[in-house]
Structure formats: C-alpha cells, structure tokens
Chains A and B, each alone.
Chain A
Amino acid sequence: MHIELRDQCFDPWAEITGFRDRMLSAGQYGACAVFVGTMRDYNDGDRVRSMYLEHYPGMTEKQLESLVNASCETNNLMEALVVHRVGSVNPGEDIVLVAVWSAHRKASFDACREIMEALKSTAPFWKKETLDDQNGERWVHRNTPGS
C-alpha cells in the first residue's frame, strides 16, 4: 500500500505502471481497477480558473491510510496506490489517483469505488475555487454524490 500527497502535477498512468512494476510480479494478480479524478474548468454553472486544495497535515495521511487499509482487508487486495494533489491545481490536471490490484475483478471494482467514496466523505481536504468572473473565490461546500 502506498499513499502520497503531491504539490505538483503527476502522470497517473506512469504512477500505476511504476508502482505495479516495483510492487507486484507478473502472474501474481488477475485484476486492476483505477479511478482518476481530474479538475474541470466549470462548476455549478461557472467557469473555474484554478483551485486550491487545503488539507490537514498529519490527519489527512492518517485518514487515507486507515480507509485504504480497511478496504485492503475487506477485499483481500494485493496492493493499493493512492496519490492526491494538494495546493494549487489548474483545470485539466489530475487531482486523485486510486489504483488497486486483486486476484479477481470483483474485489478490484468494489475496492476502487469504496476507497474513492470513503476518501470523498472522510479525508480532510477542502477545495477553494477561483472563478473567471471578476476573480471571485469560493469554497466548494459539498461533493457530488458518487452513486
């Protein structure tokens, strides 16, 4: 399991293959499920120019570790990787990567969604958007439902 917060852009696909090659061997796993969340340039009917992702150092990592560990155990995962941006983010940049590996597809599908939904509802991150319109700023008050 690996969890990382990044204050710079990352390439999720390079992260996945790099992690897989380091942590797993060919023939060991039968499924991998991936979720990548990317910043849009619009939200709630407004154009968004950029975003700042605040977090709670120490607690955010702890909470992510806890929820990924729980899903690894529940779903008998072989490996899990979570990368999440912090700080300034621009439209088109990836915000979050969740990748999980298991023997069969059900565990990977279930765990990927479970980790993402738990992250959305419990990991201490907060988004502040800068709008195109007159440099306005606003906090995002609620995430969209995942199902």
Chain B
Amino acid sequence: MTINVRFFASLRERIGVARTEIEADSVNDVRDVWLAVSHQPVDEEMLVALNRNYASLDHTVTDGDEVAFFPPVTGG
C-alpha cells in the first residue's frame, strides 16, 4: 500500500520534508501514518486531512490516499 504524505507550515519545518511517500502494509489509519513517518508522539494540536478533507487520526487509509498533517490554521 502506498500513501502520499504531506506536511505544512511549522510542522513541515519540524519534520524536515514537505512531502514523502510510504510503502507499508501494516498501516491502517491516519495515526499509523503519522507514527511511521514522524517517529514522534501525536501532537494534540495537529490537524489532519485525508484526500484534502479534514479527518481524524482514526480514519482508515487505503492505497493511493493523500494524508496531510499541519498546525492550527491562521489565515484571514
């Protein structure tokens, strides 16, 4: 299973990459994706998107999904 992973803003700087791809059959949900790519505990304030819609860490992922992690938004 291939998952495309993206990071934005301060989270991108913290992780060190804007995007990456993971190949893993043991990944079931968004939380697993975060742990696999960041090797860091879940950040309570972090927001998550699955295929460009807001999602939760418990959302199931499937092959080809795009998962994005980012800090609270500050537009306007």
Cα distance, A96 to B76, chains bound together (Å): 6
Closest to A139 in B: B10
Interface magnitude class on chain B: 10 to 19
Number of interface residues of A (CB under 8 A): 28
Q: Which residues of B contact A (CB under 8 A)?
A: 6, 8-10, 49, 52-54, 68, 70-76
Known: A59-B52, A126-B8, A126-B10. A37 touches B68 (CB 8 A): no
Q: Which residues of A contact B (CB under 8 A)?
A: 37, 53-56, 58-59, 62-63, 84, 95-96, 116, 119-128, 139-143
Inter-chain contact B75/A119, CB cutoff 8 Å? yes
Inter-chain contact B52/A125, CB cutoff 8 Å? no
Inter-chain contact B68/A143, CB cutoff 8 Å? no
